[in-house]
Amino acid sequence: MFKVVILDAEYPSFELEERVLSEIGARLVFAQIGSEEEIIAATRDADAILVDYGPITRKVISALERCRIISVYAIGVDSIDVEAATEKGIIVTNVPDYCIDEVSDHALLLLLASARKLHTIASRVKNGASTWEFTPVRPIHRLRGRTLGVIGFGSIGRAAAKKAQAFGLRVIAYDEYVAADLFSSAGVRQVPLAELLVSADLISVHVPLTDRTRGMIGEHEFSLMKETVIFVNTSRGRVVDQAALRQVIERRRIGGVGLDVLDTEPPLPDDLEWIQSDLVTATPHIAWYSEEALQDLKRKAALAVADALSDRRPASVVNPAVCNRASEP
Ligand code: NAD
Q: Are strands 147-151 and 202-205 parallel, antiparallel or unpaired?
A: parallel
CATH number for 100-282 (one of 3.40.50.720, 3.40.190.10, 2.40.50.140, 3.40.1160.10): it is 3.40.50.720
Q: According to the model, what pLDDT value does residue 8 have?
A: 83
168 φ/ψ sector (left φ>0, alpha ψ -120 to 50, else beta): left
Q: According to the model, what pLDDT value does residue 327 have?
A: 61
CB atoms within 10 A of CB 140: 13
Asked if 153 and 207 count as a contact pair (C-beta separation under 8 A), the reply is no
Residue 150 per-residue DSSP state? E
Q: 285 CB less than 6 Å from ligand 1?
A: yes
pLDDT by 10s per residue, the chain, length 329: 999 999 988 898 999 999 999 999 999 999 987 899 999 999 999 999 999 988 999 999 999 999 999 999 999 999 999 999 999 999 999 999 999 999 999 999 999 999 999 999 999 999 999 989 999 899 999 999 999 999 999 999 999 999 999 999 999 999 999 999 999 999 999 999 999 999 999 999 999 999 999 999 999 999 999 999 999 999 999 999 999 999 999 999 999 999 999 999 999 999 999 999 999 999 999 999 999 999 999 999 999 999 999 999 999 999 999 987 666 55
83 is catalytic: no
The CATH 3.40.50.720 portion of the chain extends over 2-98+291-327, 100-282
Distance between Cα 235 and ligand 1 center (Å): 6
* Prediction pTM value: 0.95
Q: Which protein residue's CA is at the shortest distance from atom 42 of ligand 1? A: 288
Distance between Cα 206 and ligand 1 center (Å): 5
Distance between Cα 251 and ligand 1 center (Å): 29
Q: 318 CB less than 6 Å from ligand 1?
A: no
Residue 188 per-residue DSSP state? -
d(CA 124, CA 118): 10
d(CA 196, CA 305): 41
**Closest atom, ligand 1, to C-alpha of 261:** 41
119 is catalytic: no
Asked if 72 and 301 count as a contact pair (C-beta separation under 8 A), the reply is yes
Cα torsion 299, 86, 205, 277: sign? positive
Q: According to the model, what pLDDT value does residue 54 have?
A: 81
Class of the domain covering 2-98+291-327 = alpha beta
Pocket test for ligand 1, best of 92, 95, 100, 103 (most atoms within 8 A of CB): 103
